[in-house]
Structure formats: C-alpha cells, structure tokens
Structure 1
C-alpha cells in the first residue's frame, strides 16, 4: 500500500491503530479473527483518519489556549489561573503580586523610580537646585514650568495652571455657566447647579449635588458611604473635631494649633493663600490693577465687582448662599431659618434663633448667661473661675 505520509506520521498512525484494536477487543466488538482480517483494510483507513482528527483537534486546543494567554493588545496575560489582566512583573499582574520591589537591601516596598521606593530615593525630583518637588514634565515640577503644555496663571506671582482666559480658578479663570446673565461656575454640560448642571443627590427631595456615589455628604453619611466625622469633645458643641478631639474654636482656646500658622513671626493666626494670614497679606487678592483688597468672587474685591448682592431689586446687601432662598439677604428671606415651629427668624446657634435658645451659655458653673468671649459671659471672663475651668480643660 503506497502512502505519501512521512515516517513519523506513519508510525503514529500504526500506534493509533494498535491502540484502537485493543479497545475493540476489550469491548467485544470484534468476535472473529476471520472477520477482522476481511475488514482490516477498511478499518485501517478509518482509524487512521480518526487518529489524525484527534491530533488536529488537540493542536487547535493548544493554539486556542496559547491565544488566551495574550491580551487584546498582544501583551502577555497574568499567569494566575483565570486572570486576563496584563502581566507586569514575575509573570503576574499587580493584583496578584506582579510588582517590582525596592532594590535596597531588606526593603520589600514597591519601587517607584530607578528600582527604589520613595523612602530610598525613588522619587523623581525637580532638576532645579534645592527643589524636592516631584517632576511633572521636562524634568521640572509645576512651580518651575513642568506639567505639560499648560501655562501658569497670568496674575503676577501665581504659579497655578490657567483654566480659562489665561487665569486660574482662584483668579477668575473658571468656566462660567452658559445661561445668559449667569456668572456662576459650571458643574457639567456648561451649566451651573441652578440651571441644571451637576447630578443631584439620589435621596428623594434632596437638592444638593451628589458628590459621593450619588449621595450628598449628609445622606452619604446616613447610608454609610461617607465616614461621619466625630464632633468636638466640648459638651454640646456640634462642630467637627480637628485636633486632639477639639474643633477649631475650642482648640485655639486651649492653645492647640490647628492647621498651618501664619509665617509672620509671633502671629498665631491661620495661614491663608500665600502662607500668611489675612492681616499679613495672605489670601487671594483682587486682580484689578493697583488693588490689594481681598478677592470676594471672580477674582475681584467688592469695590470692583466681586460682591455678591441680594437678588431683591434695589437691595445692595450681601446675598447668602444658604437657606431655601439662595442669593437673598437675611431681610429678604436668605440664610437658614430657626427650626422652631412657626419661627421665621435667622439661625444663630444649633439651628435656633436667640429667642428659642440659639446661643451658647457661660462655661462658669451655675451661670446661665450668654457667652460673649472664650465661652464665658462678661462677668466670668476675667475671674479666677474662668482660669480654673481652663486648667481643667487642658
């Protein structure tokens, strides 16, 4: 019988035939040696084709398996079973341990730059002398010109990136609402919050912007999405704690520093923009030429158009951003109102007006007068009682 098959293929076919014959004998499908001899030629060809088909199928399976080990972009996949992420190091993705460790002896931290972690020099710092800030682009940090093609704000001395019209957001370079006559900042779709920009909180009836998983900060805390901050240790103080369990007010009363301090020697006030307090030149300043007043909005002071006035016609008072009637002064219904039933006065403390208990009382024992300064009334402010209470608080 002539054949064009190679010697290796012929040997593989004969081995397959022998294995097939053994299976047929074990199953009792061949009952007679005579019948087997008569059908030998036909069975030989049939089994050979069957064996070649099995070999071809196995080859296709191996090819499919090897194709699955490569990502859509042609990169090798993670060697972890069932993972299709791209391998980073050691044949695994980052989630399964494919990270490069720091080359410093006995250090197992992740390498950041040049094989070292941040603690052992793996920080790509700015090329400017004595600058330790991280590089953004061209070997320099943002302050020294790095960070892409965007230029800095056109206001003298400002190193922030411009957003629009050559200005940063602080100096009026934010994108304004496209609604005619509206000067508020856009949230989404070119619109501010009042004109339909942003996504509202998922809680029914809430008109605040959903900033965390579709909830506002308040309802996010109620649903466990946002971790609720603890309140001040001082009894009946509802403010958030910042340092050593105290809010800003009560921390300062006890001599505890909160946040950055003013750079001016001997000044204990909080630092604003520029590293100084407002009294020593800190804070954003008006962008109008030769004006050094504080900027209120749009990078301008109240004199040069940065004042937010009441929406009521002819009213020049400040418009408030809180309450049901936003943009109006207190006289015209702006600001928060007392939560006592039927009361329309403005809130002073704990959601109540002064008439309904919205004020803090003196900290001196047995005194129920209204506190004026440092938690004490005018009578107990400078007495020994006040000093003893301060010592107990410390």
Structure 2
C-alpha cells in the first residue's frame, strides 16, 4: 500500500534503508567513541550559529546547538526554514531560493564577476575575505581568523585524536556511527538517522507516491515496490 500524505517521513525511511548484502561492506564501529565518550580536543569549537549569537531559540533536534530558522523550531540542516532549491543542496537559501554557492546572496563587486562576495564586497579571487592573522601570511583565513596551515581548523573531539574535524565534531574515522543510515551515503545522519537529502526523498514520497506504489530512491539503491 503506497504511503499517503498523512504519514510521517520516518515511515518511508524504513523502505529506502536497504541493508547491504555483502558482509564485507558492513563497518565495525565498536571502537568508535559514542558522543558521550568523545572529549573535546584542543581547537574544538561548537557550531558557529549558537543561540546566544543570533537571539533566536535553539533547534529542537537532540544535541543540536544551532539556532532555529525564523518562524520554525529547527535549523535548516534539520528541516527548518528554506533550503537551496538546487537538487541535492541542503544549504540555507540566501536569495531567489538559492544559497551563496548557487547564485544566492550578494555577488562580487568587480565588473563581470558573478562569484559570491566575501568580506569587503569582493570574492576571494579579487581580494575579498579575511587574511590569516599570522604575521607575514597572505593566505585566506579559514577558522579562528587563521589559515589551515596556522591552526585555522578544528580537531576531532575524540580523546587523543589529532585528526581534523570532518563534520559532526569528529574525524572520518570516529564519525562512522553518525553517518546516514542509507548504505554508501557518507553524509551525516541529521534527521531520523538519515541525512537531510534522504530525509527529503522520504518526505517527498509521502506526498507524491505514484499509482504504482514506487517510492523515489537515491542512485545506487534498489527499486522498492510497496
């Protein structure tokens, strides 16, 4: 029986989570520290959009520190507000339904340049953005007003790990248990155990399932008949 519009996307997620038939593809995450065991290392910082920085209420998704989008209870990553309309992009829309990368927001002031503007009204290629605060360095700052060579990065939060944070506060090795439940997907599982993109696929299926009862599925997954 095809899902109807009243069903929660979580019910459809169970249909798109296809377990791998190859045991070699199943990763052993028993050695990966759980969130409560991961201790902040030197250089670790919380997400940028803290509630105290924006004046808005906190996203109600468990353990999320970001501020909720205006008029919603969640941040853009967890389903609140308007995301970029480009397929596969989950970044917050700046203007015209697009994020900065795809044409939304202010553009570089240099004539003929359509790149996103940084600090100073220009793109990085034309001198925009902030320089590394290290004396004599002319590279662009990444985090903490420093370039990646001078400490402008966040370390993995797992105790004793000095790898760089690759998302979720952990390095690639220690964030395996936080990944999307859909096989082969490397994005962080942000909503009901799946990434934002696969959550949207499930949500779309609840509203637009066709007469054949076929749930839309991401590339690489089996065709699922209900």
Which TM-score band applies after superposition, normalised by the shorter structure?
A: 0.3 to 0.5
Bigger Rg, which one? 1
TM-score (norm 2): 0.45
TM-score (norm 1): 0.28
Higher relative CO (Cα under 8 Å, sequence separation at least 6) belongs to 2
